[in-house]
Amino acid sequence: MRVIFLNRYFYPDHSATSQMLSDLAFFLAAAGHEVCVVTSCQRYDDPAAMLPPHERVDGVEVFRVRTTRFGRDNLLGRASDYATFYLAAGWRLWRIARSGNVVVAKTDPPLISVVAAFVVLGRGARLINWVQDVFPEVAEALGVRALSGPQAGLLRRLRNGAFRSAAANVVLGERMAEVVARAGGLAERIRVIPNWADMEAIRPVAAADNPLRHEWGLDGKFVICYSGNMGRVHEFGTILDAAQRLAGKAEAIVFLFIGGGAQRRMVEDEVRRSGLANVQFRPYQDRAGLSYSLGVGDVHLVSQRPEVEGYVFPSKLYGILAAGRPVVFIGDAQGEISALVEREGIGAAVRQGDAAGLASGLVRLAGDAALREAMGVRARTLLCERYDKRIAFKAWQELLGEL
């Protein structure tokens, strides 16, 4: 089968959507499929990057298109980057798609599935929407004014048409499946295939065996880690308030932020303004070293604004599970992630705004190594049984086989 993926980022980019796409594309190519990727020349954290326009990587043929390169910091600039990608990627897809091909459109940039749907219709191909977030709902939930009102209705109708025309809509969780069904996706064509981590590539590492703990000056400390994208769907006020409450324990308890994103600068500014000596920052770490960087944390934080429940699902969760660390979720107390964390006994859930509850829960975990160990073991087991990449790849193979 010839499979064409469509997404703004691909290997060697390290963003979450790129990593998931790269994993699946390389696997399918190794399994004998003809795999192409239409993507941009940029990298997520480096809009000035200029990756090769055409190359073959591990059996995958990669077509990279040129776009404007304003980056993610400015909404108008980002809109320009999106628009030029729609045009360039749509034209490239039109040129390479053939009857019988399967086109898998992710959701970066938002609504690229609409472009893909028109091309697929004209070329006699088949469309799979791989839904990482539900747009424009997520933008409306975050209060993006330019996407509210009549224009949001138009975008929604176009998106719903892409859902209805697809051979399959792949979503990340049950709440997202409900959202897509309400938006017009046919129930029998909706598949829940969660994102993943690699249980062989990411393994639990004891603190005493982790060189980063010493390198980063964290020996003997209880480390509360936030690792990954610090985007607009994530909430940091509760975390920073908890760090303020625990500032007097700076010699024993440290908050560590690893990664980047739209809100990192704001978080850094707030830490400086508050004079918090118990907070550290590190850049994104190489994927090959995730066992160590994720292993630095004694517990990991995952935050998500309640208003985007069902529209996004935090992929950072899977790496934490693979590293065998407890999860403390901050967000919707009635949401899907809160239910998962508490049902599986892999950590704790705190509602957004409950900084006192978060601080007290972290102190409790800091003082109970046996509890952390038990939660970590359950987290690792959950990953291996349900969210390892081989499980997801099997589900994708079955879906493509049906087509």
Q: Within 10 A of 276 (CB to CB), how many other CB atoms are there?
A: 17
For the chain, domain boundaries:
2-196+388-402, 207-386
Using a 10 angstrom Cβ sphere, with 0-12 exposed, 13-18 middle and 19 or more buried, the burial of residue 398 is exposed
Average pLDDT, the chain: 95
**In this model, does residue 149 exceed pLDDT 80?**
no
According to the CATH classification, is domain 2-196+388-402 in 3.40.50.2000? yes
**In the sheet where 102-105 sits, what is the strand order?**
54-57, 60-65, 34-40, 2-6, 102-105, 126-130, 168-171, 190-192
- With pLDDT > 90 as the criterion, what percentage of the chain qualifies? 86
Written as six digits, the tokens of 38 are: 């239409």
pLDDT of residue 347: 98
pLDDT in tens, 384-400: 999 999 999 999 999 99
pLDDT band at 143 (very low <50, low <70, confident <90, very high): confident
* CA dihedral of residues 282, 316, 81, 120 (deg, nearest 10): 160
| Higher pLDDT pick, 150 / 23 | 23
**In this model, does residue 186 exceed pLDDT 90?**
no
In sequence order, the β-bridge partners of residue 255 are: 224, 279
pLDDT of residue 184: 83
Per CATH, 2-196+388-402 and 207-386 having the same topology is answered yes
pLDDT in tens, 247-292: 999 899 999 999 998 899 999 999 999 999 999 999 999 889 999 9
Question: If you write DSSP's letter for every residue of 24-83 in order, what string do you get?
Answer: HHHHHHHTT-EEEEEEES-BTTBTT----SEEEETTEEEEEE------SS-HHHHHHHHH
Q: What CATH fold (topology level) applies to the domain 207-386?
A: Rossmann fold (3.40.50)
